[in-house]
Structure 1
Amino acid sequence: MAVRLEGTPCWADATFDDVEAAKTFYGDVLGRTFGASSKSGGHLQAYADGKAVAAVVPTVPGQEGPSQWCLYLAVRDAAATAVRIGDNGGEPLMEPMRVGDFGTMRPARGPGGAVFGLWRAGIHEGFGATAVPGAYCWAEVFTRNPEKTDVFFSTVFSCRSKRLEGETDLRIHGLGERPVPGRMKMTEGFPPEVPPYVDVCFTVRDCDEAVTLATERGGILRFGPMDTPFVRFAALGDPQGANFSVIGITTTTGETPGTTDVARGARQDRHTARP
């Protein structure tokens, strides 16, 4: 597997009180299969066409609560990156934690309030596939402090940054030709109790079918499905509270999902859709 540039999205997981229910939900909606790993502290890896694409994790007893997807960014040294995060207005949230031989993780919060993870790879380098059904394809940092967030990502991870034209305040970050999470400003359409967050988007073959499957299985439709010049997408919540989005690949008319241009049309008016 090619070495990922520092700051590149490389993994996603979510903690669930009911892991079996999460496996059933995401297996049905995203077409994933699951396998356990005795070396990963209870993590159950999710697979798309045999490739590792995410994980579901059992909640630590006493820390039960709403689930949330976490996006991890590749780093060479979690401790050194944490120093840069702190120096640029962010906050490391715990000490680096080794996950068996898989690698080292560390959660952090940016100055705009959104939480993400750092991942220093061991034997597990991250996504085995992206932009295929069931796999990660895109992410956006939703924040009420866009200027601080833009400077933070550009400085900590040496990203280039470009604002896209349109009514929404959307900025794309990239490392060379590789997209890293975009940034969307949270407007008055967001209730004040909704905290900043990283929206993780997964690929599906058919957006409408995924929405139907999700709602039939207890999920919540937040927004969509919506057509854009590039993709058809929808924002969802799973039965245990984790928000995520799906991007269909059968209705694309522009570039394929997973490129920076996915966001060009796919996020118009979406900022009003969250609870």
Structure 2
Amino acid sequence: MATRPEGTPAWTDAMFTDVEGAKTFYGEVLGWTFGEASSEFGNYTQAYRDGKAVAAVVPPMPGQETPQSAWCLYFSSPDAAATAERIKSSGGTLLMEPMQVGDFGSMCLAQDPTGVTFGVWQPGAHEGFELEGETGSYSWAEVFTREPERSDAFFAAVFGFNTKRMKDDEVDYKTFDLGGEMPVLGRMTMTPEDFPAEIPAYIQVYFAVDDCDAAVAKAEKLGGRKVFGPMSSPFGRFAAIVDPQGAAFAVIDLKTTEGEMPEFD
């Protein structure tokens, strides 16, 4: 696999107090299977779709205060330590200093100045997603923030993103790219009308599905909660879901599109 350009989404994982419950839920909703837990690395367990690595789940460390379950998106970096320095100098906060993870790679965890949590991954033996943009795998992500100007400036400074704004007077939405036509990340402004104050800034991870409505129905049957959609768009039919342990994510059927593509400038 070719090395991903710096700033490209490379991996996603989530911490669950009930890992077996998470495996059952995502196995049903996204068709994942799971490998053996790696006891050397905190019982980190990779998820697979059609035999290809797509994500991972992990329990909290013993004695660790139980965190709110949440999906974390990792951005590729050729040098996690150098990226960590840029995070700090650009107004971000390191939640976990750069660390080596065996021969798999190096990582750190951080927050942007508005509270958006994300990871940085310097690949070693583990290069990241083995499947993207196909059923059961990562397909897209969006930064949700109440302070868009600060997030925009931060991510541009850390990863060199260019920004393009969607031509829509009602929605403050931008995409980030690395100088090409294809965007690598979206950014949405959280409004008081749509996002209660208790919902923190976050990155929404989208997983591709064959049928958005069917995926939502499965999620709800298994104790998940639909928070938005399903809704058709020029990009696909999508919905936002919270799983039974409180982790937010989205599903999107990339083949079912409706309407004209919006313009960006």
Per the normalisation by structure 2, the TM-score is 0.93
Q: Which amino acid aligns with 1:243?
A: A
CA distance in 2, matches of 1:227, 1:18: 33
Structure 2 match to 1:93 = 95
Q: Which runs of 5+ in 2 are unaligned?
A: none
Query: Over aligned residue pairs, what C-alpha RMSD do you find?
Result: 1.7
Query: Paired residue for 2:192, among 184, 188, 192?
Result: 188
Aligned-residue offset at 1:178: 4.3
CA distance in 2, matches of 1:155, 1:135: 29
CA distance in 2, matches of 1:181, 1:229: 17
> Residue 47 in 1 paired to residue 48 in 2?
yes
Structure 1 match to 2:249 = 244
Structure 2 match to 1:168 = 171
Query: Paired residue for 1:82, among 62, 81, 84?
Result: 84
Q: How many residues align?
A: 258
**Aligned 8 A contact 1:8 1:178 in 2:** no
Secondary structure of 2:100's counterpart equals strand
Aligned-residue offset at 1:94: 1.9
Identity between Structure 1 and Structure 2 (%): 57
**Aligned 8 A contact 2:42 2:59 in 1:** no
Structure 2 match to 1:7 = 7
Secondary structure of 1:138's counterpart equals strand
Aligned-residue offset at 1:222: 0.5
**Aligned 8 A contact 1:41 1:100 in 2:** no
Q: How does 1:1-275 map to 2 (within 5 A)?
A: 1-38=1-38, 40-62=41-63, 63-166=65-168, 167-175=170-178, 176-189=180-193, 190-252=195-257
Q: Which amino acid aligns with 1:149?
A: S
Q: Which runs of 5+ in 1 are unaligned?
A: 256-260, 266-275
CA distance in 2, matches of 1:47, 1:208: 22
CA 1:47–1:254 in 2, change beyond 3 Å: closer, same or farther? Answer: farther
Secondary structure of 2:220's counterpart equals helix
**Aligned 8 A contact 2:84 2:98 in 1:** no
